[in-house]
Amino acid sequence: MSSEDCLGWAARDTSGHLSPYKFNRRAVGDDDVYVKITHCGICYADIAWTRNKFGDSKYPVVPGHEIAGIVSKVGSNVKRFSVGDHVGVGTYVNSCRDCEYCDDGLEHQCSKGVFTFNGVDSDGTITKGGYSNFIVVHERYCFKIPKSYPLASAAPLLCAGITVYSPMIRYKMNEQPGKSLGVIGLGGLGHMAVKFGKAFGLNVTVFSTSISKKDEALNLLGADNFVISSDQDQMKGLTKTLDFIIDTASGDHPYDPYMALLKTFGILVAVGAGTEIKFSPRSLFFGLRSISGSIVGGTKDIRDMIDLCVEKEIYPKIEVIPIEYCNEAIERVIKSDVKYRFVIDIENSLK
C-alpha cells in the first residue's frame, strides 16, 4: 500500500495557533491499522506542545492523542482488527516491544516509547496526532471499542480516562468498596476519577476552588461530598479521613493540607501537570503516608478500562465541537471553561 496525503490542523510556532495543514502518512505496513478518525478529544497536552511549554516542540505540530475512529484498512499480518471495527488510539504509538515494561503491558514506561504526536518514530519521522482525518498505527497500540459505545464518548478515555484509571487499579481501589477517595480538581481527569470511584464503590469527596461545581459534582457525577479547598474549616474537618487522593489539578498548589487528610498508610497520586510539588517530609512521616506519580497506562489497563466503561455504562461528559472551533476551545480549556472534555467532530468538520 502506498503512502497517502492527510489533512489536519497544525501549529507552526509557539503561538499555538492551529490552522489547516496537509502532510503525508506512512503506508500501511503488514502489522498496521489504518484508522479513519471520527473524533479526537482536546487534552492539556495539546496546549503544552503546540505552545512549546516543554521546550521540545517539533513544528509543525499536529496535536491530539484521544483518538476514536473506524478501521478502513489492515495490514496482511493483522489479526485483532477488521475493516469496519470501531477503535481508539491513545497517547503512544510505538515502543520497543521487547523490554520488561513492554512484556508486562506497561508500554508507556518503555524508554523507546513514541508519543502519538511530537514524537520521533522508529523511522525518524515526527509523529502527528488526531487533529487529522486518519492515522496509521501498529495494531498493538490500537484498541477495539464495542459499537454500542459512542465514538465521541470513547475518545477521552484514551488519555483522561486511563490517566486516572491506571493508578486506581495499581493501588487496588477497585477491590476496596467502602473506602474513601478524594479527587482534587473537577476537569477532564477529575470527573472521570469520580465516575470510576463510584463504579468501584468508593466514598468520593471532590475538592475544588469553585463553588459553582458543587451541584454537578454531587448531583450529576454522584460524588458523596464536596469541599471548597480554600475553606480551612472544611479541610480540617476531614483530617485523617481519606484512604486515597487523586490530584488532577493542573496548577501549582500546596500539598501539606491534602496530605493531612490521609489516614495512616494513605496514598496521594499526582496526575496533574503543575510545575512543582512542595510538601514537608513530616506529611509523610506522621501517618506513614505515600505520594506517587502516574501517567496514562499500558495496553492491558486500557483494554480493561474500555471493558469497564462499556459494562458499567460510564461515559465522559463531553462538548462536541467542529475543528474550526479548536482554537477557541483551547482558550476555554486554559480558563477551565469546559464541562468536562471537548471532543472534535473530525468526521463531519475536517474535509
Structural domain boundaries in the chain: 4-159+317-349, 162-293
255 three-state secondary structure? coil
CA 209 vs. chain centroid, Å, equals 22
Cα(86)–Cα(150) distance, integer angstroms: 9
CATH code of the domain occupying 4-159+317-349: 3.90.180.10
For the record, the C-alpha cell of 199 comes out as: 463504579
pTM exceeds 0.85: yes
- Could you tell me what percent of the chain has a pLDDT over 70? 99
The answer on pLDDT for 279 being more than 90 is no
DSSP per-residue letters across 144-182: E--TTS-HHHHGGGGTHHHHHHHHHHHTTGGG-TT-EEE
Q: Which is more confidently placed, 255 or 196?
A: 196
* Cα separation of the two ends of the chain: 23
CA dist., res. 179 & res. 158, Å (int):
26
List the one residue out of 117, 120, 121, 146 whose CA is nearest residue 49: 117
Percent of the chain exceeding pLDDT 90 equals 86
8 Å CB contact between 268 and 290: yes
Domains 4-159+317-349 and 162-293 share a fold: no
CB 200 within 8 A of CB 178: no
pLDDT tens digits, residue range 205-254?
999 988 989 999 999 999 999 999 989 999 999 999 999 999 999 888 88
> Cα dist. 93→113, 119, 157 in Å?
8, 9, 16
CA distance 72 to 164: 31
Class of domain 162-293: alpha beta
Contact 35/346 with Cβ under 8 angstroms?
no
Question: Residue written as cell 515502543?
Answer: 95
DSSP 322-341: -GGGHHHHHHHHHTT-SSSE
